Amino acid sequence: MKHVTNNEIPVLIVGGGPVGLALAGDLGWRGVDCLLIERSDGVIKQARMDMVGIRTMEFCRRWGIVDWVENAGYNRDYPQDCAWVSSLNGDEFGREHFPTPAEAVPPPQSPQNRERCPQNFFDPVLRRFAEQFDGVTLQYQTEFVSLLAHDHGVRVTVRDVVSDRTRDIEAKYVVACDGGASTVRQQLGIDMQGPPALTYTTNVIFRCDGLERLHNKQPGYRYIFIGPEGTWATLVAINGRDQWRFSLVGDANRRERTTEELRAAIERAMGKPFDFEILSVLPWVRRQQVAERYATSRVFLAGDAAHLTSPTGGFGMNTGILDVVNLSWKLEANVRGWGTPALLHSYDLEQRPVGVRNVSEATSNLARMLSPRVTAPSDAVFTPGPEGDAARLAFGQAYTEMMRREWFSIGIHLGYVYEGSPVVIADGTPQPEDTVSTYTQTARPGSRAPHVWLSPGVSTLDLFGKAFVLLRLGANAPVVDALIDAARQRGVPLQVHDLLHAEVREMYASPLVLVRPDGQVAWRGEVLPKDVLTLIDTVRGAAPMPS
Ligand SMILES: Cc1cc2nc3c(=O)[nH]c(=O)nc-3n(C[C@H](O)[C@H](O)[C@H](O)COP(=O)(O)OP(=O)(O)OC[C@H]3O[C@@H](n4cnc5c(N)ncnc54)[C@H](O)[C@@H]3O)c2cc1C
């Protein structure tokens, strides 16, 4: 086997799933060269994620690819209702109505909406985004083999899976986006903490044209099937057209399913035999695990390599995209020389608690979805007649009410806070309650900088991304020349925006607000601190801010 050593590249990304591709794209967008290696040919055999969360869509807006996501292939006129049924031709217990993607309007807290875009559509969008930058190289059918960290970087051995040749690559930094079974994580000896197996589930993608005509329920995006034994399966409109994802939820016992068993389960869900073509079967294990740490000095874990979650809530990939948006500008800062190792270390301190929070919320969603297994519905729920109707109504109303927390989770997507981060300067205000289904915007340091419309189609969020941004709000905002000088002295990219909008001033609650390149508030105040250099040094990871 031949070994070839390349020249050093700033960032090597291992894994070209949605998280690795998003990092490659964000680095390319920042003008930082990177190489992504992906073991497979990049073709998605079975889509897992399909919900692109509201924060991820805000990043897509920043990257200029919202219309690519919207036009990626999901049927935007497809109804998005969720309903709980005994079968598609049986009883309906309840339903939550949602508009179609085309009809949905963003909530007041954001210029964007969550989108439906399954992985077989979303990965190509992210790939196209990343590929448009000269500094980004994507190498498919290239497998990570091993790494050796040294004083100046990391030597990575990779294997061409077609020719079986290996070669070495020198990188300054490595980011492991290689999924739940992360080889990089294992080689670093980083353990996962948390329950390793909540359920052994089997997913089946099948094709059935006109499935809606085979049953008497209103069309929906997701159906949850509940029988006398409790919740046993779900069905999702994976492309809003002819493809469906059936999940036999299973339990904590590993079990192999035969094709006959799977076909019988799908027909049970329909409530009668029907014609369908199985396209793929994916047995998978639902976990609630977070890596004990997210980084060594030069190697970082992101996405499923760092946290594994039940899909209930759609947090997995979206948390992974948060990871890489947090990490990317810190890598850039270090590659360009104005950031420090402490800034990189803040990735673990800031983002790991978000992982813990999100995976535990997903597990509590799972517990709610499966709760009819614990408190079984009464026999009357499955008995025809008026008594049964009353039992179904009561059961359905309670289930509908309980499930709302999963369907409405804006607080999880927007309300994460980098509390206690050493590169955020606290302003002494109390931490707001961490809510799930509601979200009150705040410019409290550590929070996502709020959205306010500045003019039709232009959001405050459109100001953030490539540099630190200092907002001067209101007519009497203090002069900030000293901070501009300090940033220049330290090589920190800083843009200043003067905004007179009363609504922005009120929302941000201070006349001066410093927003980081990832869109999180780093500092706010009435006036600049006397020691502006310490302020700049703190947010670039070079000095603790005296309290
Ligand atoms: C049924 C289901 C539904 C879901 N729905 C949602 C949802 O709606 N929203 C959401 O946010 N999340 C959802 N998730 C979770 C989501 O799919 C994952 O969190 C997401 O795919 C993780 O992305 P990733 O890039 O970190 O990892 P992966 O998608 O696992 O990608 C890792 C990549 O690394 C490559 N790789 C692995 N080892 C190597 C190696 N040694 N060398 C090179 N390459 C390697 C793999 O080939 C793979 O392409 C769902 C999950 C499931 C199971």
The model's pLDDT over 156-208, given as tens digits with 9 standing for 90+, comes to 999 999 999 999 999 999 999 999 999 999 999 999 999 999 999 999 999 99
| Minimum CA distance residue for ligand 1 atom 38 | 178
The model's pLDDT over 264-322, given as tens digits with 9 standing for 90+, comes to 999 999 999 999 999 999 999 999 999 999 999 999 999 999 999 999 999 999 999 99
Structure tokens at 402: 């309980």
Structure tokens at 521: 């508030």
Where is 279: in which H helix or E strand?
Answer: strand 277-286
C-beta separation of 19 from 180 below 8 A: no
Span from the CA of 180 to the centroid of ligand 1 (angstroms): 7
The model's pLDDT over 320-346, given as tens digits with 9 standing for 90+, comes to 999 999 999 999 999 999 999 999 999
Give me the pLDDT at residue 195, please.
92
Q: Which fold has domain 417-539?
A: Glutaredoxin (3.40.30)
Give me the pLDDT at residue 45, please.
87
Span from the CA of 17 to the centroid of ligand 1 (angstroms): 6
Give me the pLDDT at residue 6, please.
54
- Residue 270 DSSP SS3: helix
C-beta separation of 44 from 209 below 8 A: no
Residue 412 has pLDDT above 60, yes or no: yes
C-beta separation of 285 from 192 below 8 A: no
How far from each other are the two terminal CA atoms of the chain, in whole angstroms? Answer: 57
**Half-sphere exposure in the Cβ direction for 370 (13 Å, CA):** 18
Task: Give the whole-angstrom CA distance, residue 277 versus residue 206.
Answer: 5
Task: Give the whole-angstrom CA distance, residue 340 versus residue 427.
Answer: 23
Give me the pLDDT at residue 421, please.
97
C-beta separation of 287 from 195 below 8 A: yes
The model's pLDDT over 355-372, given as tens digits with 9 standing for 90+, comes to 999 999 999 999 999 999
Atom of ligand 1 nearest to the CA of 318: 11
Atom of ligand 1 nearest to the CA of 21: 25
Give me the pLDDT at residue 383, please.
95
Verify whether ligand 1 is closer than 6 Å to residue 135 (CB atom).
no
Residues composing the chain = 547
* pLDDT interval class at 408 (50, 70, 90): very high
Verify whether ligand 1 is closer than 6 Å to residue 183 (CB atom).
yes
Average pLDDT over residues 452-477: 97
| Minimum CA distance residue for ligand 1 atom 1 | 48
Give me the pLDDT at residue 3, please.
46
Give me the pLDDT at residue 547, please.
44
Residue 111 has pLDDT above 70, yes or no: yes
Verify whether ligand 1 is closer than 6 Å to residue 143 (CB atom).
yes
Structure tokens at 491: 């090589």
Verify whether ligand 1 is closer than 6 Å to residue 211 (CB atom).
no
Contacts for 284 with CB less than 8 Å, ≥ 6 apart: 48, 200, 201, 202, 203
Q: Considering only the top CATH level, what class is 9-74+115-193+292-363?
A: alpha beta
Give me the pLDDT at residue 113, please.
97
Span from the CA of 298 to the centroid of ligand 1 (angstroms): 22
Q: Which of 48, 126, 138 should be mutated for ligand 1, with most atoms under 8 A from CB?
A: 48
Verify whether ligand 1 is closer than 6 Å to residue 16 (CB atom).
yes
Task: Give the whole-angstrom CA distance, residue 86 versus residue 230.
Answer: 10
Identical topology for domains 9-74+115-193+292-363 and 417-539: no
Task: Give the whole-angstrom CA distance, residue 547 versus residue 544.
Answer: 9
C-beta separation of 482 from 533 below 8 A: no
Kindly report the number of other CB atoms within 10 A of residue 468's CB atom. Answer: 22
Q: Which of 12, 139, 178, 236 should be mutated for ligand 1, with most atoms under 8 A from CB?
A: 178
Residue 14 has pLDDT above 90, yes or no: yes
Where is 317: in which H helix or E strand?
Answer: helix 316-336
Give residue for tokens 């009435």.
526
Residue 2 has pLDDT above 70, yes or no: no
C-beta separation of 374 from 226 below 8 A: no
Domain boundaries, the chain: 9-74+115-193+292-363, 417-539
Where is 12: in which H helix or E strand?
Answer: strand 9-14
| Minimum CA distance residue for ligand 1 atom 30 | 179
Mean of the per-residue pLDDT values for the chain? 96
Residue 485 has pLDDT above 70, yes or no: yes
Kindly report the number of other CB atoms within 10 A of residue 70's CB atom. Answer: 18
Distances (CA, A) of 341 to 33, 132, 188, 216, 325: 19, 30, 18, 60, 17
* pLDDT interval class at 7 (50, 70, 90): low
Task: Give the whole-angstrom CA distance, residue 21 versus residue 34.
Answer: 11
Verify whether ligand 1 is closer than 6 Å to residue 140 (CB atom).
no
| Minimum CA distance residue for ligand 1 atom 5 | 49
Residue 544 has pLDDT above 80, yes or no: no
Residue 546 has pLDDT above 80, yes or no: no
The model's pLDDT over 373-386, given as tens digits with 9 standing for 90+, comes to 999 899 999 999 99
Kindly report the number of other CB atoms within 10 A of residue 111's CB atom. Answer: 20
Distances (CA, A) of 218 to 15, 88, 201, 234: 40, 10, 27, 16
Task: Give the whole-angstrom CA distance, residue 178 versus residue 13.
Answer: 9
